């Protein structure tokens, strides 16, 4: 072994075992916190955990379960496990008493093995329960028994239906996701002086197979601006569009998740991908056009519950069995034109 390889190996081991030590320490620290919390609860009140740590679209899709679980445990102290980046979605939810920002899967395993919680609802399956630094997976025995995994989950329904099954809970009667926007989100968007009538677009997901080519997005945006009396506002982490013209506004990287939700709520229409912002659009009630394609083992699927899931407030644009990237521009334009032209005539 060369000296350089020796240094690399021990550097890797140092970071790995430092991470594992921190995860264990934080797990026991959390146990102390929840032990004190449990002692403070009224007699007979339960300490209930809900585990849905990522991604933010999945957390929005799971929101109806927060209301359902609250109804099942009206006096409980409900704790939602979530990755810190998505914490604001949980902290604003009035059905959740506490958001626990999870460090990693190992921290959760250490905490849950103390049996401090009276009831745990695991709303995710094995591939979401992985820490690459610890090299640890945490199994969900309910999901495993049902056969729900990354290769099968959309065979069991939309995301809300899948999460209910992995958590061992019945489906809520009200399956419409909600957002809990605050005054600070409205004030932030007020300060941006957005146009009165605009279409919001989202052009890049966190998973490349769900994406549509940037050149086609540019063509679509130019067509929208040339054809309809709406300006176009792009949201997301970053933009890959080369557009320099009046009527196009790039807000990428400038908004939090719930500020993005407020922008979508104000839009006349949403056009985007099967990604987090489309779940925000479903939750805010903005009419949507969602570009979709085959995904892994699923030639056609519908991730949405509520009005998007029933097709009442959106159009899913796809060609079954083909990836989103292969959608022709005209295939995308036609359903948009069918809806927008009618609205323009009404106006």
Pick the last residue of a domain from 166, 191, 214: 166
Answer yes or no: do 192 and 111 share one domain.
Answer: no
Cβ–Cβ under 8 Å, residues 313 and 290: no
Domain contains 177: no
Question: Does pLDDT of 3 surpass 70?
Answer: no
Domain contains 175: no
User: Taking the mean position of all CA atoms in its chain, how far away is CA 298?
Assistant: 19
The helix (H) or strand (E) run that includes residue 284 is: helix 276-284
Question: Does pLDDT of 313 surpass 70?
Answer: yes
- Alpha-carbon Rg for the chain, nearest whole angstrom, is 22
> What end-to-end distance do the CA atoms of the chain give, in Å?
74
pLDDT tens digits along 72-121: 999 999 999 999 999 999 999 999 999 999 999 999 999 999 999 999 99
Answer yes or no: do 8 and 142 share one domain.
Answer: yes
Of residues 344 and 313, which shows the higher confidence score? Answer: 313
Write down the pLDDT at residue 137: 87
Q: Which domain holds residue 26?
A: 3-166
Domain contains 150: yes
Domain contains 178: no
Cβ–Cβ under 8 Å, residues 183 and 155: no
What's the number of domains the chain is made of?
Answer: 2
Cβ–Cβ under 8 Å, residues 177 and 306: yes
Domain contains 173: no
User: Domain of 18: which CATH number?
Assistant: 3.40.50
Pick the last residue of a domain from 108, 132, 166: 166
* Tokens standing for residue 317: 């644009």
Answer yes or no: do 8 and 88 share one domain.
Answer: yes
Domain contains 225: yes
Write down the pLDDT at residue 268: 98
Helix and strand numbers, DSSP H then E, in the chain? 13, 12
Answer yes or no: do 96 and 142 share one domain.
Answer: yes
Write down the pLDDT at residue 345: 54
Banded pLDDT at 296 (limits 50, 70, 90): confident
Pick the last residue of a domain from 141, 166, 191: 166
Answer yes or no: do 151 and 229 share one domain.
Answer: no
Banded pLDDT at 9 (limits 50, 70, 90): low
% pLDDT > 70, the chain: 95
Write down the pLDDT at residue 264: 98
| Average pLDDT, rounded, for the chain | 94
Answer yes or no: do 160 and 280 share one domain.
Answer: no
- Strands laid side by side in the 288-291 sheet: 248-250, 231-235, 198-202, 269-273, 288-291, 314-317
**Any bridge partners for residue 235, and if so which?**
202
DSSP-based helix, strand, coil % in the chain, nearest 5: 45, 15, 40
pTM given for the model: 0.95
Domain contains 156: yes
Strands 198-202 and 231-235: parallel
Answer yes or no: do 210 and 117 share one domain.
Answer: no
Residue range 199-226: average pLDDT? Answer: 96
Answer yes or no: do 34 and 104 share one domain.
Answer: yes
Banded pLDDT at 4 (limits 50, 70, 90): confident
Answer yes or no: do 306 and 247 share one domain.
Answer: yes
User: Domain of 262: which CATH number?
Assistant: 3.40.50.2000
The helix (H) or strand (E) run that includes residue 121 is: strand 119-122
pLDDT tens digits along 138-170: 899 999 999 999 999 999 999 999 999 999 999
Write down the pLDDT at residue 10: 59
Question: Does pLDDT of 241 surpass 80?
Answer: yes
Residue range 262-271: average pLDDT? Answer: 98
Residues 6+ apart with CB under 8 A from 347: 229
Domain contains 72: yes
pLDDT tens digits along 319-337: 989 999 999 999 999 999 9
Answer yes or no: do 158 and 299 share one domain.
Answer: no
């Amino acid at each position: 072994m060369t000296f350089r390889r020796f240094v690399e190996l021990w550097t890797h081991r140092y970071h790995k075992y430092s991470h594992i030590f921190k995860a264990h320490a934080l797990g026991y620290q959390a146990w102390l916190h929840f032990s004190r919390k449990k002692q403070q609860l009224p007699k007979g009140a339960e300490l209930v955990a809900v585990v849905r740590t990522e991604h933010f679209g999945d957390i929005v899709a799971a929101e109806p379960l927060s209301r359902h679980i609250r109804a099942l445990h009206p006096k409980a102290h409900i704790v939602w496990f979530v990755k810190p980046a998505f914490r604001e979605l949980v902290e604003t939810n009035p059905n959740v008493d506490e958001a626990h920002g999870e460090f990693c899967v190992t921290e959760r395993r250490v905490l849950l093995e103390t049996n401090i919680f009276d009831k745990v609802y695991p709303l995710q399956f094995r591939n979401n329960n992985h820490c690459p630094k610890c090299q640890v997976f945490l199994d969900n025995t309910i999901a495993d028994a049902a056969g729900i995994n990354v290769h099968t989950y959309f065979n069991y329904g939309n995301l809300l239906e899948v999460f209910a099954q992995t958590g061992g809970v019945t489906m809520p009667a009200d399956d419409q996701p909600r957002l809990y926007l605050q005054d600070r989100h409205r004030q932030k968007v007020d300060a941006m002086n957005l146009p009165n009538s605009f279409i919001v677009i989202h052009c890049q997901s966190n998973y490349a197979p769900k994406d549509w080519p940037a050149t086609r997005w540019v063509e679509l945006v130019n067509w929208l601006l040339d054809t309809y009396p709406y300006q176009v506002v792009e949201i997301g982490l970053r933009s890959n569009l080369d557009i320099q013209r009046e009527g196009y506004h790039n807000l990428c990287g400038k908004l939090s998740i719930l500020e993005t939700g407020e922008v979508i709520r104000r839009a006349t229409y949403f056009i985007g991908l099967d990604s987090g912002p489309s779940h925000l659009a479903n939750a805010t009630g903005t009419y949507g056009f969602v570009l979709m394609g085959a995904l892994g083992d699923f030639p056609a699927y519908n991730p949405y519950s509520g009005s998007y899931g029933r097709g009442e407030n959106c159009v899913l644009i796809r060609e079954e069995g083909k990836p989103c990237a292969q959608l022709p521009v005209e295939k995308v334009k036609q359903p948009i034109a069918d809806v927008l032209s009618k609205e323009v005539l009404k106006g």
